[in-house]
Homo-oligomer: A and B are copies of this chain.
Amino acid sequence: MKNIKMKLKRKELHISQTELAKKAGVTRQTIGLIESGEFNPSLKLCVAICKTLNVTLDEIFWEE
């Protein structure tokens, strides 16, 4: 399933996939594939993305 919350949060901060990727230490493709739901990211990467977006895990990666 697509990760809408992550994409929205990124847009909200006006940062590109490329920028987020660089700050999180991965490639642009990886970010794109996570947002489109084709990748099941590792915990470390989730945390790195959260810190870049100033949120916690629950805010963008948790679903009831």
Within 8 A of B (CB), among A4-52: 40-44, 46-47
Copy number of this protein in the oligomer? 2
Which residues of B sit under 8 angstroms from A44, Cβ to Cβ? 40
6 tightest Cβ-Cβ pairs between the two chains A and B: A57-B57, A58-B58, A40-B42, A40-B44, A56-B58, A57-B62
By beta carbon, the residue of chain B nearest A57 is B57
* Interchain residue pairs with CB less than 8 A apart (7): A42-B42, A43-B61, A47-B62, A47-B63, A57-B58, A57-B61, A58-B62
In the bound complex, CA of A42 to CA of B41 (Å): 6
| Residues of B with C-beta under 8 A to A56 | 57-58, 62
